Amino acid sequence: MLNVALLSRWHVHANDYAQQAKANDGIQISAVWDEEPGRGKQWAEELAVPFYEDLDALLSQSDIDAVIVDTPTNMHKEVIVKAAQYKKHVFTEKVLAITVDDYQEIMKAIEAAGVELMVSLPRLTEDYYLRAQKVLDEGLLGTLTTIRCRYAHNGAVPSENSATGWLPPHFFDKEQCGGGALIDLGAHGIYLSNRLAGPARSLSAVLQSTSDQYEVDDNAAVLVDYQSGAIGILETSFLSSGSPFLLELYGTEGTLIVEDESVRLRAGGEWKEVTDPVSAPMPMEQWVQAINKTAEPSLKPEDFYNLTVMNQAAAKSNETGERVSLEDIITK
């Protein structure tokens, strides 16, 4: 049984990860820390576990084996590196880091400590992605020429209850988040497309701040040039009501469309549903398996790295108004 500490309730998925941890027979939630003590104390009371106001005091506890990190993104490097130095395994919300430099510092600490790191990229474990990957790997689409992914919601659409929508106001804090819709919600489309289309060569991005009240993008699109020759079109938004999740793969021999949970293939004939039974453990379960050395994770450091590079390149492209080579980001 892993004794796990929850580090911050800042992210909107913090409660979800706590529930996943409680549902996992291999995890015991044993402590809470939060950069906002009032919030952390309340969470600790709800969970009936100790609250630590001092992070070092928590991490120095010998009976804490691992941590789940949901701090502001700009605190990831500091908190994860410190946890690794105390020999704690780390599960963290995406994105792992805002810059490649931060990513490298985090990974250096993880590798030096010999602990397991898992970043929550859940859509790489979903059955629709696995079906799409299987179709692509079997060559049913021929050569992939274009990939499009749209993942959007209405989190920043004003309502009677909130002028900024149902997302918490701190999700629009550029310093804490490192960005807006793209770095958070758009991350899913980025890492999915990275897996399906392979390494990217360059990209152009528009990160639009539609409302004057936001200092980050609430609507974004990225045009990607992959090394394979495929083109990627990645769309995300906090201002889109009723938008389905869409993942589209176009090839020389066929087309595959994922719309929410539906996967349809057309390859030389009529459209047909792809329903092959495929599954993979969720990221948290893979993390526990890796710590216990019972299974090798399907989520890899290269997934975390490629996501970081793409986000940093997209931010630079938006700032300069120019197409950005990923090689420039990697070797700067």
Please state the domain extents for the chain.
2-120, 123-280
Q: Does residue 27 contact residue 182 with C-beta atoms inside 8 Å? A: no
pLDDT confidence tier of residue 279, bands split at 50, 70 and 90 = confident
Decide if pLDDT at 119 tops 60: yes
Token pair listed for 68: 């789940």
The continuous run of DSSP H or E covering 283 comes out as helix 283-292
For the segment 233-260, the average pLDDT, to the nearest whole number, is: 97
pLDDT confidence of residue 164:
77
Q: Could you report the per-residue pLDDT of 136-174, keeping only the tens digit for each?
A: 999 999 999 999 999 999 999 988 888 778 999 999 999
The continuous run of DSSP H or E covering 92 comes out as strand 89-93
> Domain 123-280 belongs to what topology?
Dihydrodipicolinate Reductase; domain 2 (3.30.360)
Q: Could you report the per-residue pLDDT of 9-67, keeping only the tens digit for each?
A: 999 999 999 999 999 999 999 999 999 999 999 999 999 999 999 999 999 999 999 99
DSSP string, 126-162: SHHHHHHHHHHHTTTT-SEEEEEEEEE--TTS--SS-
Question: 2-120 maps to which CATH number?
Answer: 3.40.50.720
pLDDT confidence of residue 332:
57
Query: Maximum Cα–Cα distance for the chain, whole Å?
Result: 63
